[in-house]
Amino acid sequence: MRKAQRDATRTQIVKAALSCIAERGYDAVTTRYIASVADVSQGLLTYHFKTKEILWRAAAEHLFEILDESLGLDILEFNAHDAKKQTVAERDEMQRDCIRRIVRFHAKHPELLRFMLQKGSDNDSRTEWLVDTHIKPSLKQFSTVMSHIPEKDLPHMLYALSGASGIIFSVPDECERATGMNPRLTSAIERHADYLAYLFIPERN
Amino acid sequence: MRKAQRDATRTQIVKAALSCIAERGYDAVTTRYIASVADVSQGLLTYHFKTKEILWRAAAEHLFEILDESLGLDILEFNAHDAKKQTVAERDEMQRDCIRRIVRFHAKHPELLRFMLQKGSDNDSRTEWLVDTHIKPSLKQFSTVMSHIPEKDLPHMLYALSGASGIIFSVPDECERATGMNPRLTSAIERHADYLAYLFIPERN
DNA sequence: CATTTTACTTGTCAAATGACAAGTAAAATG
DNA sequence: CATTTTACTTGTCATTTGACAAGTAAAATG
């Protein structure tokens, strides 16, 4: 009973921290602000997470947990290894589906891109940990799914896709003001997903 | 003599502010830190720019000045209007060239993307000004160059291209640590430029 | 039921922040 | 050359920051 409450509160704080940090940046956001969003006292953050950096780490863990769940790259990777059973058209469509999932994830969680773009004064320690613990494994799985891409092009495709998927959802207000299209609408998300799916995996003829 | 020195100092401060704000974010960066990068006293920022927000605005102006110069969209736009004189292949290559310029600009000035992704506590006023004054005109010129894209796809292509071009240069350390490729190298920049040029404007067959 | 543990709040602190007032020296002015 | 203007520095101020110590009430424990 006590443990459940504790975990619920911690999760509440972590979620608030993730969204606040993604929105404003690590250095810019204050622990008091996170606390107010999480609807707890500021002292409680220190109680549960000791320092701001530890809280940041918990938020990152949480983000990549969601990412791994939502993307289900492990499933797609499994299918990719089953390539012999697939026609080329089926493989293409599987890869398009993977891209669509990525776009939908960015739409639902603009935090991801913002999180990766963060720099802080003591950036290095946090970045290295993030890359080694979470980014490298993700990229490896993804590259298995995109098995047909020449190895030299892979980093370019990877980052091109990340950016192409995510940016539009990171600046929804600017986008709507500039183009008239609201990228928060499901229709816009699906259009973007489809646009990128066929951009990166063109139809064959 | 007095005026020249004044302008030189102001430019020095603005450049420092641009790079600092792009790196850390508006709220996160301190005027003292900007001053130290610009190698002037903190009081001088207040003297020249009164408030931090005014300094931010000057930095944004500076960024978009560089952008307009470097991209030369006006020239390309002019060529685009000359479409009748062009073969399809020539138009394709002109558009690829436009994309390459955009990629090279992002490589040289990662500030742009970071700047656009900034949110601050009083975000709205700054964003609205930025969009109306600088982003809208840029997008309009760009859409003229990309004349063959269906109007409904334009916002998607626009933001896809921005993200696909820029992200990799915004996280060079992460990229190198994760993939082994250093996106600061000219060879990597040109490869990225070419990859995107042919991604967005495929070869015809 | 008496005691201990613990999830959480409040109050406080030194350090850092943006702004600004007062001062300075050198260039411009007439 | 005497005076004014101005580009710039230094010192200071109220406010905000992350951290932490002390306290509280309720749940767990035995």
What's the CA angle centered on B171, arms B176 and B113, to 5 degrees? 150
- The residue that minimises its CA distance to C1' of C26 is B2
State how many domains chain A has.
Answer: 2
Which of A130, A179, A199 is opposite residue B155, by nearest beta carbon? A179
pLDDT in tens, chain A (205 residues): 778 899 999 999 999 999 999 888 899 999 999 999 999 999 999 999 999 999 999 999 999 899 888 887 666 666 766 666 678 888 899 999 999 999 999 999 998 998 888 876 656 667 788 888 888 988 888 888 888 889 899 999 999 999 999 999 999 989 999 999 999 999 999 999 999 999 999 998 7
Let me know whether B82 and B107 are in one domain. yes
CATH number where A15 lies: 1.10.10.60
Q: Which of residues 183-202 of B touch A (CB under 8 A)?
A: 183, 191-192, 195-196, 199-200, 202
| Residues A141, A74 contacting (CB under 8 angstroms) | yes
Q: What does the pLDDT read at residue B83?
A: 61
Answer whether residue A136 is part of any domain: yes
Quick: pLDDT tens for A75-124: 666 676 666 667 888 889 999 999 999 999 999 999 899 888 887 665 66
Is B52 domain-assigned? Answer: yes
Quick one: how far is CA A95 from the chain centroid? 18
Tell me: do A42 and A87 sit in the same domain.
Answer: no
Based on the fold, state whether residues B100 and B50 are members of the same structural domain.
Answer: no
A167 touches strand C (CB under 7 A): no
Å between CA of B43 and C1' of D12: 12
Give the residue from B32, B56, B80 where a domain finishes. Answer: B56
Are residue B45 and residue B134 in the same domain, yes or no? no
CB contact under 8 A, B167 and A167: yes
Residue keyed to tokens 């394709």: B92
B194 and B108 in a single domain? The answer is: yes
Same domain flag for A22 and A79: no
Between B55 and B88, the higher pLDDT residue: B55
> How far apart, in whole angstroms, are the C-alpha atoms of residue B119 and residue A23?
6
Neighbours of A51 (CB within 10 A): 11
Minimum CA–C1' distance nucleotide for A121? C16
Length of chain B: 205
State the residue for tokens 């008091």. A32
Residues A51 and A76 in one domain: no
Give a yes or no: residue A139 inside a domain.
Answer: yes
Query: For residue B132, what are the domain limits?
Result: 72-200
Whether B139 is in a domain gets the answer yes
Q: Nearest to residue B170, comparing CAs of A146, A170, A184, A60?
A: A170
Flag if B160 and A164 touch (Cβ within 8 Å): yes
B159 touches strand D (CB under 7 A): no
Span B182-188, mean pLDDT?
97
- B7 in a domain, yes or no? yes
- What angle (nearest 5°) sits at the alpha carbon of residue B151, between those of residues B147 and B153? 105
Q: Which two tokens stand for residue A11?
A: 């999760």
Indicate if B85 and B181 belong to the same structural domain: yes
Residues B76 and B111 in one domain: yes
Q: Are residues B36 and B76 in the same domain?
A: no
Q: Do residues B191 and A156 touch, judged by C-beta distance below 8 A?
A: yes
> Quick check: B175 and A163 CB within 8 A?
no
Does residue A116 belong to the interface with chain B, where contact is any CB pair within 8 Å?
A: yes
Domain for residue B187, yes or no? yes
Cα A163 to Cα B80: distance, rounded to the nearest angstrom: 27
Domain check: are A120 and A77 in the same one?
yes
* Same domain as B94, residue B24: no
CB contact under 8 A, B127 and A178: no
The reply to whether B24 touches chain A by the CB within 8 Å rule is yes
Tell me the per-residue pLDDT of B110-169, one tens digit each, with 9 for 90 and over: 989 988 888 666 566 677 888 888 889 888 888 888 888 898 999 999 999 999 999 999
B205 is a domain residue: no
Q: Which nucleotide lies closest to A54 by the C1' atom and the CA atom?
A: D18
Tell me the nearest-neighbour CA distance from A200 into chain B, angstroms. 7
Orientation angle between helical segments A42-49 and A31-38, nearest 10 degrees: 100
| Residue B63 covered by a domain | no
Q: What distance in Å separates the CA atoms of residue A1 and residue B3, rounded to the nearest whole number?
A: 71
